Amino acid sequence: MQFCPRCQRANPREAVYCYFDGVVLDQHLAGAASPSRMLQEFVFPSGRRCKTFDDLVQGCQYEWEDARHLLRNGAFARYFAQIGRHDLARIAQETQGQPDPDIGLHTFLSQLPASQIQGPRLDLNPRRLILSGVHPGEQRPLFLTVLNQGKGLLQGKVTVSEGGEWLRIAENGNATECHLKTAKSQQVRLLVDTRGLTASQTYSGKLTVITNGGIAEVAVRLDVASIPFAQLPFQGAASPRQMAERMRANPKQAVPFLENGEIARWFQLNGWTYPVSDPPARGVAAVQQFFEGMGLSKPPPLQLSEQNLHFFCTQPEVVQARVTLRTGAKKWVYAQADSDKPWLRVTTPSVSGPQQAQVAFEIDSTLLDAGGLHLGTISLTANAGQKLTVRVQVNCTRPYEPFTRRLLRPFFVGALLALLLRLVLTGPADLYARGWGQAAGAAWTQAPWIYVAGAENQFLKRFILATWWAGIFLGAALVRRRGGRWTDVFCGGIAGAFAGVITAGTLGCLLLVFDAVPGALLTHWISPQSFANAPAAWTLLWIVLASACWALIGGGAGFLLSSFGQRGLPLLQAAAGLLVWLFRQCGLERAAAFFLD
């Protein structure tokens, strides 16, 4: 074993250099080799050959990218272990794990036993970047010159290590990193983007320059100036406090700028948070609202003249009322009001005034169900976000209605609907199924109200054939109206066809049943010979009698539904709504009002 003359540590007998500090163990074994000479040449991928440590350092400086890759993949560590320089192999292993490969290579080269040779040397101009007078939203360029004060090729990179949200390197598509390679000088173009920054603030950034000629940092300072307010009498205000001071001296002149949002937009341009989040108040109260949001004025204590209100109304009456919002302090009050019920409508949703403001509202009894107690709430958002509520109770009653009208309305609803339905069915039932639709040569051979054995089945068949197709168009139209696709419309038409057959059969059976009474009467009064002499006149008489019979049956059904109370009321209201719509379409408002519940 051999012992190092410097560190006195044991090394293998065949070792030439100390494993720990690289000192030559035996000058005889080392021969005439210089301490800076390597036992074996190191060859770069480009073909450059290095016989001494000076050659290796110089080669790494000229071929920085290849050297950085060789250090990262362990080529230097394997080479030094192969030639017995385990001390340098250990250094190579330690530096290859450095997160930044440029810093790792620079540290590795600085620890090699090379002579004092002059390689690249980093210098920067300027050493500190200061940019002032920039307004929010602007973009300004900056320039940094990287100088090589030594010899060889200066290689490395510039990185934005701080301030990346507003500082970019414009050389590489607004990136945060730029590569360097220069023999003398290289200019790096920077871009300062103040969008999203706040005015009247100072921001600090930092650039880190890592090269084979040294490492340096460049401090960057950005002073963002505010955009002054441009309109008189507040022209030149450069901060929220200056604006508040001028508004205090000219409160009335500030009102239009607060109401139209001009001051809010000025805040936004400068990146400041506007202190008022609610809609602006009206008049001078808007100035009070601004001061409270800025924290320059204490909001006054507020109270309502009434917190619980009780009203009695009769349909279709509209009740109007108001409550007063007041304060004991000599300040303006303002509020935004809204209600939680459609029948309770706030007519003055935004109010303001000196020391008090009145909130007006109205109660629309036509939107209320009669005979019950209704509750609603008016919510107010007042000075500095203070929340107040007004609870409104309403007892709504029906208007006085004569007994005869209450009795006759259900009857007329059913009678009119049944009459209209029977008149609509006159064409397919009386004129076709009982007349022209009969076998050839047999049309109008007998009165349409007279049936012989088996004639009922023939009537149903002809009536269904005359009316079932209407279901196709109704089904397709309903699906199309709801936004269905064409395939859905087709399926809707098929479903409508089946529904049309079922509905036509049902109506045909009802015709047979309800037409039996007028048919029996005409059969008793009129002979077949009389009908044959004047079929048109007797057919018209038949239609009138059949429609009257249906009207009486419908009126009875309406009266029966009204007697069922709440169970029959929804059907009766739906039927009355159809009549109201029909009369209004015809311009008969008084008739429509009769059927309004």
Residues 127 and 193 in one domain: yes
Residues 574 and 435 in one domain: yes
Residues 352 and 488 in one domain: no
Per-residue exposure over 185-220, b if at least 16 CB sit within 10 Å of its own CB, e if not:
ebebebebbbeebebeeebebbbbbbbbbbbbebeb
- Asked if residue 328 is part of any domain, the answer here is yes
Q: What are phi and psi of 401, to 5 degrees?
A: -130, 130
Nearest to 131 by CA among 144, 116, 150, 117: 144
CATH number for 178: 2.60.40.2310
State the pLDDT at residue 469.
84
Q: Which pLDDT band holds residue 453 (cuts at 50, 70, 90)?
A: very low
Residue 558 or residue 69, greater confidence: 69
Spatial separation of the C-alpha atoms in residues 204 and 191, rounded to whole Å: 14
Residue 374 has pLDDT above 50, yes or no: yes
- Asked if residue 21 is part of any domain, the answer here is no
Q: Which of 397-406, 440-449, 489-498 has the lowest mean pLDDT?
A: 440-449
Q: Which pLDDT band holds residue 441 (cuts at 50, 70, 90)?
A: very low
Residue 562 or residue 172, greater confidence: 562
State the pLDDT at residue 221.
92
Q: What is the DSSP string of 159-192?
A: EEEE-TTTEEEGGGSSBSEEEEEESSEEEEEEEE
Spatial separation of the C-alpha atoms in residues 259 and 255, rounded to whole Å: 6
Q: Which pLDDT band holds residue 360 (cuts at 50, 70, 90)?
A: very high
Q: Which pLDDT band holds residue 377 (cuts at 50, 70, 90)?
A: very high
Spatial separation of the C-alpha atoms in residues 594 and 588, rounded to whole Å: 10
Pairing of strands 185-193, 372-382: unpaired
Report pLDDT digits (tens) over 454-494. 556 677 888 888 888 888 888 888 888 887 788 888 888 88
Total structural domains within the chain: 5
- With a pLDDT cut of 90, the percent of the chain lying above it is 7
Report pLDDT digits (tens) over 309-356. 999 888 778 889 999 999 888 888 888 899 998 989 999 888 888 888
State the pLDDT at residue 33.
45
Which range of residues forms the domain containing residue 55?
34-110
- The average pLDDT across 249-256 equals 85
Residue 361 has pLDDT above 90, yes or no: yes
- Asked if residue 5 is part of any domain, the answer here is no
Residue 279 has pLDDT above 50, yes or no: yes
Residues 209 and 142 in one domain: yes
SS3 label, residue 412 = helix
SS3 label, residue 419 = helix
pTM of the model: 0.49
State the pLDDT at residue 346.
92
**End residue of a domain, out of 110, 138, 171:** 110
The H or E element that residue 580 is part of is helix 569-585
Residue 387 has pLDDT above 60, yes or no: yes
**End residue of a domain, out of 110, 142, 163:** 110
- The average pLDDT across 388-411 equals 75
User: Residue 419 carries which side chain, given as an amino acid letter?
Assistant: L
**End residue of a domain, out of 294, 312, 334:** 294
Residues 385 and 412 in one domain: no
